[in-house]
Chain A
Amino acid sequence: MSVTAFLTDSTLCIGCKACEVACKEWNGIEGDGLDWSGFSYDNTGAVGASTWRHVKFVERAPVPGLGGNAGEQASWTFSSDVCKHCEQAGCLEACPTGSIVRTEFGGVFIQPDVCNGCGYCVTACPFGVVARNEQDGRAFKCTFCYDRQKVGLRPACAKACPTESIQFGEIDELREKARLRLEELHRRGMDDAAFYDPTHTSVRGTHAMFIIRGDPRTYNLPPSPQVPTIYLKKGWRSSALAAGLLLGGTLLALLTDGRSGR
Chain B
Amino acid sequence: MSDPVPLGDLVPGLERERRLAEIRREAERRGKLDVVGGRPPGAPFPQATPETGYYKIPLLKEPPWKWEIPLYFFVGGAAGAAAVVGAIADYTGVDRKLVKHARWIAAAGSVISPVLLVADLGRPARFLAMLRVFKPQSPMSMGVWTLVGFSSGAAAAAFAGFLSDRYGPSLPLRWLENAGQAASLAFGLPFSNYTGVLIGATAIPVWNRNVGDLPLHFAASGLAAAVGMLELMGHGKNRALQALGLGAGIFESWEGLRIEGRSDPHLDPLKHGASGWTTRTGGVLSGPVPTILRLLSALGGKRRSASLRRWAAWSAIAGSLITRFAWIRAGHASARDWKLPLEIRSE
Contacts and interface: CB of A to CB of B under 8 A. Distances in A.
Tell me, yes or no, whether A and B come into direct contact in the complex with CB atoms closer than 8 A. yes
Contact of A222 (B59, B140, B240, B242): B59
B81 to A, nearest CB: 7
Contacts of B84: 246-247, 250
Contacts of A260: 239
B244 interface: yes
Interface residues of B, number: 89
A124 B126 CA distance: 20
Given A239-B194, A254-B92, A259-B95, A122 B218 contact: no
Contacts of B20: none
Contacts of B247: 249, 253
B201 interface: yes
A94 to B, nearest CB: 5
Interface string B81-100: 10011001100101100100
Interface in A52-99: 56-61, 90, 93-99
B212 A96 contact: no
Contacts of A257: 239-240, 243
A231 B201 CA distance: 5
B122 A254 contact: no
A235 B196 contact: yes
Contacts of A136: 122
Nearest to A232: B201
B214 A238 contact: yes
B175 interface: no
Contacts of B98: 258
B216 to A, nearest CB: 5
Interface in B201-252: 201-204, 207-208, 211-216, 218-220, 223, 235, 237-244, 247
A237 B194 CA distance: 11
Given A122-B63, A219-B48, A258 B95 contact: yes
B130 A118 contact: yes
Contacts of B331: 123
B211 to A, nearest CB: 4
Contacts of B53: 217-218, 220
A232 B139 contact: yes
Contacts, number: 264
A255 B197 CA distance: 30
B171 interface: no
B215 A242 contact: yes
B8 to A, nearest CB: 28
Interface in A212-251: 214-215, 217-220, 222-224, 226, 228-229, 231-232, 234-239, 241-243, 245-247, 249-251
Interface in A142-179: none
B342 A231 contact: no
B50 interface: yes
A46 B133 contact: no
A261 B238 contact: yes
B178 to A, nearest CB: 18
Contacts of B216: 238, 241-242, 245
B38 interface: no
B343 A224 contact: yes
Nearest to B192: A246
17 contacts: A39-B48, A56-B54, A90-B203, A93-B138, A94-B201, A117-B121, A123-B204, A128-B58, A132-B64, A220-B342, A235-B197, A242-B215, A242-B219, A243-B190, A249-B247, A253-B247, A258-B238
Interface of B: 24, 27-28, 45-50, 53-55, 57-65, 81, 84-85, 88-89, 92, 94-95, 98, 120-122, 126-127, 129-130, 132-133, 135, 137-141, 143-144, 189-190, 192-194, 196-204, 207-208, 211-216, 218-220, 223, 235, 237-244, 247, 331, 335, 341-344
